[in-house]
Amino acid sequence: MRAVSLVPAWGKAGCRRPAGRNSLAVIPSSLGSRPLERLCRCSAVQACSSVITQYRYYTLIASIFCFEYETFDACSRSAGPFSPICAGTLLMARQKARLKDIAAKTGYGTNTVSLALRGSTRISAAARDLIRKAALELDYVPNNIAKSLVSRRSNTVGLILHEITNPILTSAAKEIQLALASRGYGVLFATSNGSFDEELHAIEMFRSRMVDGLLIYPLVHSRLDHLRRLREQNFPVVLLVGVQDSGIDVVGIDEFVGAHDATRHLVDQGHRRIGALVMLQYGTSQKHDGYVAALEAAGLPVDPQIIGSCLNHSIEGGIQTMDSIMHGPDPPTAVFCSSDILALGALRWARIHRRTVPAELAIIGFDDIESASHAVTPLSTINNNVDELARRSVARLLELIDAEGGLPPPRTSLLHGDLVVRESSATDAAAGSTATPTIDTRSS
Amino acid sequence: MRAVSLVPAWGKAGCRRPAGRNSLAVIPSSLGSRPLERLCRCSAVQACSSVITQYRYYTLIASIFCFEYETFDACSRSAGPFSPICAGTLLMARQKARLKDIAAKTGYGTNTVSLALRGSTRISAAARDLIRKAALELDYVPNNIAKSLVSRRSNTVGLILHEITNPILTSAAKEIQLALASRGYGVLFATSNGSFDEELHAIEMFRSRMVDGLLIYPLVHSRLDHLRRLREQNFPVVLLVGVQDSGIDVVGIDEFVGAHDATRHLVDQGHRRIGALVMLQYGTSQKHDGYVAALEAAGLPVDPQIIGSCLNHSIEGGIQTMDSIMHGPDPPTAVFCSSDILALGALRWARIHRRTVPAELAIIGFDDIESASHAVTPLSTINNNVDELARRSVARLLELIDAEGGLPPPRTSLLHGDLVVRESSATDAAAGSTATPTIDTRSS
DNA sequence: TTGTAAGCGTTATCAC
DNA sequence: GTGATAACGCTTACAA
């Protein structure tokens, strides 16, 4: 019993067992008390050993004296006779092959093996092939952790999403991951999950894991100081939201212009009383500002009564917030929603309350998620070019990572989101008149 | 110009610059050719230096002779006079603080610092506080890469999703990430993106990054050999799909039973001609089998004509596949869809072709995503308990990771998905009769 | 209570 | 062409 409980210690950090690597400890039972060398000649042990060897394990013969030794090392250092206490054999977890193992197998040095596997021309073809073959046989997988330690690069970037239920963020995540994978980068991922502390925590976690850079949809567009500080420390960060003058690199949809275009479109459709569903809990937002600007440009009043602030980004949240802006004395005839999910909530609200869309209530969303074009009433929206966003943000991040001698000055790339007019906002969708809208033909 | 191109070599792997760490190289212009010591006394340089010191950088005065030295080291070793070639100052990226830096600052050894920061009782309280303070001042972040190298644990697990547009997978991803983060684990994430090779590639990438374990929604439920092989090598793997007897640990929804329940529900509603939308491109699936079993149990024929195989998991895919199974001579009166997304496609198809749901066509989905309850006709479906899935799969994976002396035998935990009856399948939803259905009241 | 030395798996330098 | 050696930043064993 006691012997078994000692076994797990092998292979643990700090436990030295140069002879124990990839080895099988044969702990014979009922062989009596005898010196180690005699145990090795025991036929049962030898038979076992030859089987073990076939599996590319070394054989390590041992018999653990019950109380005297605390560790296997202490045991194996002892010169005295051993008392067997445990029956049978114990198979150690086979450890991963290292360069050193390939070197031992082929007779070359570790350095030669390293160069050969990386295809250096300084190594002879014969040696290279031999080494490659040995690596394959041993199922060698290079240890990137060790590589990172010396190269000071983890070839990993961190991705923080503030919300994963939003299809736009997840499809961005997908495109980003694929783009990075094709360049040999891994993606460490975290959700800030609606809490700023979690965002900070995720960043801290990423930093301690030595990510080479960070792509982030920040939770609060106005709280970016922690990210600016990272940048000052020469840590590459790219924001995925279209904020202006952040002092950080930005690749994102121009939310102000998008919201402005969407609201303007409602104005152009003849609406004079236009409400909004936005996310305001962390202060103002670009989308809110764009909405307000479009109203002001059209000479329309901005009425807080019909601007609903949603707490969470969901259909349910959209329905509830619609309730709050529609029950007033002068409800809006059109609503700008800062995301398609909220717009689907608004659509649902309209159905529950038997308002026809767009005749009694026009609705426009933001993002152009798949469900938007397949909704009961196909949703007008602002197209969010996710592929472009992923492509450009990854390209910029890698530029920052590869920047030699300090980060270049921050650059803001705002992508334009196209207005897509469908049934939910246009009494006659085909007559869509503003901002060269894309008419979606599938929505008939 | 040339000097600038040399600078990037600092801080690179293999470039030794013991004196260059956290230092600012002042490369003065137009100071003429003079010995280094005279440069140091130059007032412009001194003013610069004092500013630099405020930022906790050391100052390193240098002037690089244009052609003679290839590296900064070679340059600084030289004793001769320098010719300035580059104007201004160059700020080196400040490097992250190490234990050694804290040690140097406090006067303790690195070992003492390491123990102190980890709160060892062997260190005096005074020393501990001093060291903690210094660590804070230097903005010390422990290097997990180095830690991993010695502990042989990365405290990171890999998560592979076969599809990220599926809301079920993303909400699972979120829950999994949060559960793992609370235990101190990071999540490396990848999408297999519909290709088995990408799945293999992602696994390889994860292995080389030394993840401690793997959570995976495999692309093809029947191709699991590569995962079994990992397990044989003592690598912890947990499948997130409810397959039976895989020889690998499983925590997943019982898809067979779920599909069976769903189909059975349609039978109970009086349907005799029940079609299906499934994903069959990689061979049969548990959902398909459950559907078939329910039909057979009810004594109904299984007709390939009304079993549509969707190629991609999308509303569009659902619509197209519906086209193919509905245009036959004897179209189904009810359809079991292997996911809510496909069911939304079916619903959309019904709307396009003016069939009333559920009177002319009953539809049931699988997953219970948010949109299901908010669809035009709220969808009946099988609830996919994502929270439970995340909780249990993470718990099991950590069990495997912490298992000492080899992995325990694989265990299969199938979670039960509850039937949720809404309008899309029940002529009178309130009369839902089978399998203790949950009646969703919001769907009025 | 603290310091010293070795080692985790890899890469870069330099000598042969 | 190939091998020895010293880093990378950290933890552990053991000596002081």
Q: Bridge-partner residues for B308, per DSSP? A: B277
Distance from CA of A415 to the nearest CA of B (A): 22
* Pairing mode, strands B89-91 and A89-91: unpaired
Distance from CA of A320 to the nearest CA of B (A): 12
> Domain coordinates of chain B in residue numbers?
2-94, 99-142, 151-248+388-399, 255-384
Chain-chain contact of B165 with A148 (C-beta, under 8 angstroms): no
Residue range B238-280, pLDDT digits in tens: 999 888 888 999 999 999 999 999 999 999 999 999 999 998 7
Distance from CA of B102 to the nearest CA of A (A): 16
The C-alpha atoms of residue B369 and residue B167 are separated, in whole angstroms, by 7
The one-character DSSP state at A99 is H
Please, which positions of strand D sit below 7 A from a protein CB? 1-5, 7-13
Residue range A300-312, pLDDT digits in tens: 999 999 999 988 7
Closest CA in chain B for residue A167: B165
CA A430 to chain CA centroid, nearest Å = 41
List of residues 6+ apart from B416 with CB closer than 8 A: B253, B254, B257, B258
Question: For testing the chain A interface, which of B208, B368, B386 should be mutated: the one with the most A CBs within 10 Å?
Answer: B208
Q: What is the pLDDT of residue B234?
A: 85
Mean model confidence pLDDT for chain B: 78
The whole-number average pLDDT for the span A137-144 is 93
The C-alpha atoms of residue B444 and residue B432 are separated, in whole angstroms, by 15
Query: What is the DSSP track for A131-145?
Result: HHHHHHHTT----HH
Residue range A75-100, pLDDT digits in tens: 343 323 332 223 233 334 457 888 99
Q: What is the pLDDT of residue B94?
A: 55
Q: What is the pLDDT of residue A405?
A: 63
**A107 contact to strand D (CB, 7 A limit):** yes
Selected residue with higher pLDDT from A310 and A62: A310
- Distance of B14 CA from C12 C1′ (whole Å): 5
Closest CA to A169 of A313, A358, A66: A313
Q: Are B151-248+388-399 and B255-384 the same fold in CATH?
A: yes
Q: What is the pLDDT of residue B164?
A: 78
The whole-number average pLDDT for the span A375-380 is 88
Q: Name the nt closest to A120 by C-alpha to C1'.
A: D1
B92 contacts in chain A (CB < 8 Å): 405-406
Q: Name the nt closest to B152 by C-alpha to C1'.
A: C8
Confidence at A429, pLDDT banded by 50, 70, 90: very low
Question: For testing the chain B interface, which of A2, A98, A151, A170 should be mutated: the one with the most B CBs within 10 Å?
Answer: A170
Put simply, whether B94 touches A (Cβ < 8 Å) is yes
Closest CA to A419 of A442, A436, A443, A444: A436
Q: What is the pLDDT of residue B354?
A: 93
Q: What is the pLDDT of residue B165?
A: 74
- Distance of B147 CA from C5 C1′ (whole Å): 18
Closest CA in chain B for residue A55: B233
Q: What is the pLDDT of residue B412?
A: 95
Q: Chain B neighbours among A 266-305 (CB < 8 Å)?
A: none
Q: Chain A neighbours among B 171-210 (CB < 8 Å)?
A: 171, 173-174, 177-178, 181, 186-191, 193, 201-202, 204-210
Q: What is the pLDDT of residue B162?
A: 87
Residue range B83-141, pLDDT digits in tens: 222 323 343 445 788 899 899 889 999 999 999 999 888 899 999 999 999 999 889 99
Which among A7, A174, A352 has CB closest to B191?
A: A174
Closest CA to B214 of B224, A376, B5: B224
Put simply, whether B374 touches A (Cβ < 8 Å) is yes
- Per DSSP, the three-state class of A329 is coil
Chain-chain contact of B91 with A406 (C-beta, under 8 angstroms): yes
The C-alpha atoms of residue B384 and residue B381 are separated, in whole angstroms, by 9
Distance from CA of B29 to the nearest CA of A (A): 18
Question: For testing the chain A interface, which of B157, B174, B197 should be mutated: the one with the most A CBs within 10 Å?
Answer: B174
Which CATH code fits A151-248+388-399?
Answer: 3.40.50.2300
- Per DSSP, the three-state class of A433 is coil
> Which architecture does CATH list for A255-384?
3-Layer(aba) Sandwich (3.40)
Which among B7, B146, B189 has CB closest to A177?
A: B189
The whole-number average pLDDT for the span A395-401 is 96
Q: Chain A neighbours among B 215-254 (CB < 8 Å)?
A: 233-234
Put simply, whether A56 touches B (Cβ < 8 Å) is no
Say if residue B439's pLDDT is above 90. Answer: no
Distance from CA of A140 to the nearest CA of B (A): 9
